[in-house]
Amino acid sequence: MESNFEWITANGDIGIRFFHSIDDGGYSNPPHWHNDLEIIYLLEGRLKVRFGDGGERQIGADELLVINSGTIHAVTAYPNQAIVLQVPYEMLLQYMERYDQLYFVVDERPASEAEKQKLAEFKAVLREMDEVYGAQKEGYQLKFDSLLLEALYRLLVDYAVRIGKEHIPQNQKAVQQIREVMRYIEEHYAKKLTVAQVAEHFGYTPNYLSKLLKRYLGLTVYQYLYEIRLDRICRDLQHPEARIMELLPKHGCENYKSVSRLFKERYGCSMKEMQKRYEKEKGDRPMGQWVRIRKAEMP
């Protein structure tokens, strides 16, 4: 069963999820969350991330973003290259005391020279991790592990905030409500859903539910529903044998013309063009390649 909680699969050889992403842009994913800590270090291009509290962050070349555990977020990608690191929740619990009380904040524009130096050194560790994992020379796993621990150490010492009263989000209850609604919609997205049905399931009025999603996700209920449907269709298009006219009813879509328009608005191409693009990207990619094309391998 699909869930808006993202299950992150680690690279089998290093125990975390790590990849060098080359993205030609035009991709966005629906709001989701995961318990793993995510670090995105943009080498080129730009990226936009929307958060469940209504905030938004854009990062450019040589900037990084930390997405804390449990944070609702949605990514819109423009052409970019990035180093992406996702550290399992269990590992963080093991190495960081009272991890659940930690919140990481990285200031991309530090005022002091000392803070600028710390940030430069942190980025240098991430770049070296990328080089070591890309080359995969003898002993690379040992070297990578040492760099990972160095990165986590710097993150903890330089950028961690213990969550006190002043840092506890006032909208915590609303965010939890949003997560539950997101989960319900994703579990039932292939069925005929109305705002009234979803609202009734949670004991809300349709008006309250609509305002809740609009405030924290920036989407209406139907917009979020179709974010999920389009995302699932796009995933299935990775398979060259998939028939588009069979995918639509499978994912709760009835009106081909309407879905085609929404798909093109979101991805910048038709469903057939996307399917051909996936096939070409996979054919062009050498076996064992460590560079990951995000559009072709969506989480």
Q: What is the pLDDT of residues 3-55, one digit of tens each?
A: 344 444 457 688 888 999 888 776 777 788 787 899 999 999 999 998 877 78
**Tokens 């040589």 sit on residue:** 62
Q: Which of 148, 166, 184 is the last residue in one of the domains?
A: 166
The answer to whether residues 33 and 85 belong to one domain is yes
The answer to whether residues 136 and 27 belong to one domain is yes
The answer to whether residues 102 and 158 belong to one domain is yes
The answer to whether residues 158 and 206 belong to one domain is no
Predicted confidence at residue 253, as pLDDT, reads 93
Q: How far is residue 268's CA from residue 77's CA, in Å, rounded to a whole number?
A: 12
The answer to whether residues 51 and 109 belong to one domain is yes
pLDDT class of 99 with cuts at 50, 70, 90: confident
The answer to whether the CB of 70 falls within 8 A of the CB of 94 is: no
Res 76 pLDDT > 60: yes
Establish if 291 belongs to a structural domain.
no
The answer to whether residues 112 and 39 belong to one domain is yes
Q: Which amino acid is at 121?
A: E
Which CATH number does the domain housing residue 27 bear?
2.60.120.10
Q: If you average pLDDT over each of 45-54, 67-76, 257-266, 273-282, which comes out highest?
A: 257-266
- When computed from its CA atoms, the radius of gyration of the chain, rounded to whole angstroms, is 20
Establish if 161 belongs to a structural domain.
yes
Which of 49, 64, 78, 46 lies closest to 129, judged by CA? Answer: 64
Establish if 289 belongs to a structural domain.
no
The upper half-sphere exposure of residue 272, i.e. CA atoms within 13 Å in the direction of its Cβ, equals 2
Domain of residue 269, residue span: 172-284
Which CATH number does the domain housing residue 270 bear?
1.10.10.60
Q: How far is residue 37's CA from residue 94's CA, in Å, rounded to a whole number?
A: 13
Establish if 7 belongs to a structural domain.
no
Beta bridge partners of 86: 17, 38
Q: Which of 146, 166, 186 is the last residue in one of the domains?
A: 166
Full-model pTM: 0.66
**Tokens 């979101």 sit on residue:** 266
The answer to whether residues 93 and 228 belong to one domain is no
The answer to whether residues 244 and 162 belong to one domain is no
Predicted confidence at residue 171, as pLDDT, reads 57
Q: Which of 140, 166, 192 is the last residue in one of the domains?
A: 166
User: Is residue 177 classed as helix, strand or coil in its secondary structure?
Assistant: helix
Q: Count up the domains in the chain and report the number.
A: 2
Q: Chain-wide mean pLDDT for the chain?
A: 84
Establish if 290 belongs to a structural domain.
no
- pLDDT by residue (tens digit) across 194-239? 999 999 999 999 999 998 888 777 788 998 899 889 988 988 898 8
